[in-house]
């Protein structure tokens, strides 16, 4: 059996007295694609951000690649990790954001090679070659020296994917990667994600693209109100939902 990449055990997250994650448990094995769907405010993005410890959790455990995220467990006592240790953990988890979050003062290529050079210690030439390869992979070879504002939303998002891939992550997190895009630009980004999935990348994708989920996902999770309502293959969850809430949601979006 394939190795566990993500093991989330009853993850809870509160903002003040507002509990946004009420015990989420799921596992993702290596090479698997998990799509998380659900209404806005359901906690799906928050859960994704907990996975690389952009948000700390209030309860439960998250293991990525068999490592407990954000804490060291000594006996039964949890110790907060130092920022440098958390940074090291994040190096193997790529993340793509809804609003791209490219660095506006750097060109497309510079965006991609900043972390490999500055964080992973790669030399300039290797990083440059890697960056150009990745740009080719996302179909933007001719945009290397353009600044983000000169690119369309779809192009920016593909650069952002290349930037995350440059750190050679074992896991990729996508937080509604096509929600901020014009409809005709969505396809290019989804194509890049599909080819990534085919190449065997482990991916967790928060998305409203049901077509993508149906085609690419190994597992689909429907989250509502901070809880997993239904989980299974795309066929089970999207085509034959058992829960009323899932049915109601799918009726609205499909």
Partner 1 sequence: MAVAPQPQTDNSDDVVAVPLRHPWRWVFGIIVTVLLAAFIWALVSADSIQHDIVFRFLFDSRILIGMLVTLGITVLCMFIATVLATLLAIMKLSPNPLLRWISTGFIEFFRGTPLLLQIVFWGYLGIIFPNIVLGIPYTDVIFQSWPTSQVIPALLAGVIALSLNEAAYSAEIVRAGILAVDSGQVEAAKSLGMSGGYTMRRIILPQAMRVIIPPLGNEFIGMLKNTSLLQVIAVTELYTVASKISSANLAQIELLVVSGFWYLVMTTVLGFPQRALERKYGKGFVAAAGGKLLKVSRL
Residues 236, 227: Cα–Cα separation, whole Å? 18
- Residue 102 as a binder of partner 1 (CB under 8 A): the answer is yes
Distance (Å, whole) CA 232 – CA 169: 25
User: In this chain, which of 38, 70, 94, 154 binds partner 1, going by CB under 8 A?
Assistant: 94
Q: Tell me: does residue 83 bind partner 1 (CB under 8 A).
A: yes
Site membership for partner 1, residue 99 (CB under 8 A): yes
Q: Smallest gap, in angstroms, from Cβ of residue 121 to partner 1? A: 11
How many whole angstroms separate alpha carbon 30 and alpha carbon 65?
A: 9
Angle 76-77-79 (CA atoms, 0-180°, nearest 5)?
A: 145
Residue that is written with structure tokens 């014009």 in the block: 182
Cβ contacts of 208 within 8 Å, gap of 6 or more: 37, 176, 178, 179, 253
Min CB(84)–partner 1 separation in Å: 6
> Cβ of residue 87: shortest distance to partner 1, in angstroms?
5
- 78 touches partner 1 (CB under 8 A): no
Contact 172, 28 (CB under 8 A): no
Site for partner 1 in 32-61 (CB under 8 A): 52, 54
Residues 132-161 that bind partner 1 (CB under 8 A): 142, 146-150, 160
If binding is defined by CB under 8 A, does position 88 make contact with partner 1?
yes
Which of residues 102 and 130 has its CB atom nearest to partner 1 in the complex?
A: 102
Site for partner 1 in 217-236 (CB under 8 A): none
15 forms part of the interface with partner 1 (CB under 8 A)? no
* Least gap, CB of 26 to partner 1 (angstroms): 20
- Choose the stretch contacting partner 1; rule: CB under 8 A; options: 3-11, 91-99, 124-132, 246-254: 91-99
Site string for partner 1, 116-135 (x = CB under 8 A): --xxx---------------
Stretch binding partner 1 (CB under 8 A), from 21-29, 32-40, 113-121, 181-189: 113-121
Distance CA 88, CA 9 (A): 22
- The owner of tokens 């949890």 is 78
Minimum distance, C-beta of residue 221 to partner 1, in the bound complex (Å): 21
Residues interacting with partner 1, by CB under 8 A?
A: 52, 54, 83-84, 87-88, 90-91, 93-95, 97, 99, 101-107, 114-115, 118-120, 142, 146-150, 160, 163-164, 167, 173
């Amino acid at each position: 059996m394939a190795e566990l990449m993500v093991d989330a055990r009853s993850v809870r997250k509160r903002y003040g007295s507002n509990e946004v994650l009420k015990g989420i448990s799921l596992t993702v094995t290596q090479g698997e694609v998990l799509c998380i769907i659900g209404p806005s405010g359901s906690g799906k993005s928050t859960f994704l951000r907990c996975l690389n410890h952009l948000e700390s959790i209030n309860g439960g455990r998250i293991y990525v690649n068999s490592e407990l995220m954000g804490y060291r467990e000594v006996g039964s006592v949890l110790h907060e990790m130092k920022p440098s240790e958390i940074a090291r953990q994040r190096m193997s988890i790529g993340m793509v954001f809804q609003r791209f979050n490219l660095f506006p003062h750097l060109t497309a290529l510079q965006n991609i090679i900043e972390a490999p050079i500055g964080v992973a210690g790669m030399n300039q030439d290797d990083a440059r070659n890697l960056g150009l390869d990745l740009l080719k992979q996302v179909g933007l070879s001719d945009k290397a020296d353009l600044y983000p504002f000169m690119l369309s939303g779809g192009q920016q998002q593909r650069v952002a994917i290349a930037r995350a891939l440059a750190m050679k992550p074992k896991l990729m997190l996508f937080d509604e990667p096509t929600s901020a895009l014009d409809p005709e630009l969505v396809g290019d980004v989804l194509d890049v994600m599909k080819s990534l999935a085919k190449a065997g990348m482990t991916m967790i994708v928060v998305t409203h693209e049901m077509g993508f989920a149906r085609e690419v996902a190994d597992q689909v999770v429907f989250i509502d109100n901070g809880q997993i309502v239904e989980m299974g293959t795309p066929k089970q969850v999207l085509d034959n939902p058992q829960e009323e809430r899932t049915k109601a949601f799918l009726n609205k979006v499909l």
